[in-house]
Amino acid sequence: MLVLAIDQGTTNTKALVVDERGHIHAHASSPSSTEYPQPGWAEQSATGIWDDTRSVIDAVAAQMSGRSIDAIAISNQRETIVAWDAETGKPVGPAILWQCSRTAPECAALIAAGHNETVEAATGLGINPMFPASKLAWILKNRPEAQDLLDKGRLRTGTVDSWLLWNLTGGADFATDHSNASRTQLFDTQTLEWSRELAEIFGTPTSCLPDPRPSDSRFGETVAAATSLPAGVPIMAMLGDSHAALYGHGVRRPGTVKATYGTGSSLMTLTPKRVASSHGLSGTIAWTDKSGTAYALEGNILVSAQAAAFIAGLLGIGDAGKLSDLAQTVDSANGVTFVPALSGLGAPHWNDHATGTVAGMTHGTKPAHVARATFEAIAMQITDVFEAMQSDVGERLVGLRTDGGASSNAFLMQLQSDFLQRPVESAVVEEVSALGAAAMAFRALGQEWRPDTRSKRYEPWMPAETAGAIRATWRDAIRRACS
């Protein structure tokens, strides 16, 4: 039995074909391009997202030498919203990315009006421009075509999973899974339904939203015209990428935290029930399946591993790998801190107005100190969220499992273990999100299978006092960035 797993992310789109033993038979990847047309804005071409997805599907299909695909699983970047015409399939403008903060003023107004408590009680999410609800309201207000399509009953809006499903099925199916729906701020995570009250708060309709279903549903079937796949291949699993990664790490009970190091970072840990955070985190649905609804706490960092690429560009030294090499030429950051608030600050600080800062420089500061401060910043942000999770859970969290491109950087992972004073296990298999979605699809097909969870283990070696002092300097830098 073979499952084609799609992982549509912010920086690239991947596809792989995996069997029930976990062996990968084919793999393809295509880079994605993001536009920043105004300060705080972030967009991608919705057509480009589908084109990239279709190209990697066709690439892996060509590698299969005629062998048939039994099912499709989708893992996708979350909180990015796409709007399109149900009749033509044409997008209504670019997809607005999760990183985009264009609706910060509107969100601030809603909070000032006293709506945050209601929204958080229903969704687990504090009002923030990262989530699609305010973005949908913005689309209806600022893209006249959207309102016209809504009036005609032709507007379709959804997260990336819905957009991919629509195209794979030739417009026959318009649905999302509960994990993606739970990130919109329009979905009640207890009733598992779109909320009219939330829609009224944000000034959005629910008529243009997809049908929310469990993550292991039969979402639809392919049509031959969409890709080189034959008609009738069922889409058997859809999950947000962070949720798929948690599933892919084999986490099935509370106690362990998952962290994905990508453009941004998502930390997630399972909870026995819905938990309302008092430390800047989000309560969310991890997934729903035949066993019921799994809940989780999550912290989202807006700029994580992307910080290394950003500083590498500023220093003119090429890429993040070279920046890492430079950072390791010094034993400390020599008092330098970098707060990568390039799109504001996410969890647990949540400050839309914060900007990136480099502090603590003296005549003795060298590029290597700035480089080291950058990697410390990535690990520090993860540590901030980990500690907030532990406070919300009320029990000691035992360790961290990591994935994403930057998790292969041994220098960064050692720093992470040092600042956490916990073991860190970095996944050996790179495609954790895709494999997690595939595992969900296999389960839906009656094949109980867990992905490869082998990892490289890092133990703390930095003295706790030294780590604590660096943490204290970081907290001072955060306060300055938020002031």
Q: Which ranges of 65-195 would DSSP assign to H, the alpha helix?
A: 104-112, 116-123, 132-142, 144-151, 160-168, 178-181
Give me the pLDDT at residue 451, please.
65
pLDDT at 448 > cutoff 80: no
Residue 10's SS3 state is: coil
Q: What is the pLDDT of residues 114-139, one digit of tens each?
A: 999 999 999 999 899 989 999 999 99
Range 188-207 average pLDDT: 96
Give me the pLDDT at residue 51, please.
96
Higher model confidence: residue 272 or residue 337? Answer: 337
Q: How many CB atoms lie within 10 A of CB 192?
A: 16
In a domain, 76, yes or no: yes
Give me the pLDDT at residue 263, please.
84
pTM of the entire predicted model: 0.87
Residue in the structure block whose two tokens are 């699809």: 441
d(CA 111, CA 130): 14
Higher model confidence: residue 267 or residue 277? Answer: 267
In a domain, 250, yes or no: no
Range 10-23 average pLDDT: 90
d(CA 257, CA 377): 19
Give me the pLDDT at residue 356, please.
93
What sign results for the dihedral spanned by CA atoms 329, 335, 341, 342? negative
Range 329-344 average pLDDT: 95
Q: Percentage of residues in the chain with pLDDT exceeding 90?
A: 81
In the numeric block, which tokens belong to residue 265?
């970072």
d(CA 383, CA 389): 10
Mean of the per-residue pLDDT values of the chain: 93
d(CA 405, CA 205): 38
Q: Are 427 and 407 in contact (CB under 8 A)?
A: yes
Q: Distance of alpha carbon 194 from its chain centroid, rounded?
A: 21
pLDDT class of 264 with cuts at 50, 70, 90: confident
In a domain, 52, yes or no: yes
Q: Distance of alpha carbon 123 from its chain centroid, rounded?
A: 17
Look up the CATH number of the domain holding residue 228: 3.30.420.40
Q: Which ranges of 160-249 would DSSP assign to H, the alpha helix?
A: 160-168, 178-181, 196-202, 241-248
Q: Percentage of residues in the chain with pLDDT exceeding 70?
A: 99
Angle at 291 between CA 168 and CA 245, to 5 degrees: 55
In a domain, 26, yes or no: yes
Residues 6+ apart with CB under 8 A from 282: 124, 125, 126, 297, 298, 299, 300, 347
Angle between helix 320-327 and 410-420 (nearest 10): 60
In the numeric block, which tokens belong to residue 304?
């994580």
Range 358-372 average pLDDT: 97
pLDDT at 450 > cutoff 70: no
d(CA 169, CA 161): 12
Sheet holding 24-31, edge to edge: 24-31, 12-19, 2-8, 71-76, 234-240, 220-221
DSSP state of 461: -
Range 316-335 average pLDDT: 95
Alpha-carbon separation of residue 392 from 259, 274, 295, 327, 380 (angstroms): 17, 12, 14, 34, 19
In the numeric block, which tokens belong to residue 18?
């995996």
In a domain, 415, yes or no: no
pLDDT class of 453 with cuts at 50, 70, 90: low
Range 198-212 average pLDDT: 96
Give me the pLDDT at residue 226, please.
85
Range 387-393 average pLDDT: 93
Of 26-30, 129-133, 161-165, 401-405, the least confident: 401-405
Range 354-380 average pLDDT: 96
Full residue range of the structural domain in which residue 11 is found: 2-242
Give me the pLDDT at residue 20, please.
85
pLDDT at 452 > cutoff 70: no
How many domains is the chain partitioned into structurally? 1
In the numeric block, which tokens belong to residue 440?
């969900």
pLDDT at 225 > cutoff 90: no
pLDDT class of 291 with cuts at 50, 70, 90: confident
Give me the pLDDT at residue 430, please.
76
pLDDT at 466 > cutoff 90: yes
Nearest Cα residue to 164 out of 269, 53, 79 = 53
pLDDT class of 65 with cuts at 50, 70, 90: confident
pLDDT class of 447 with cuts at 50, 70, 90: confident
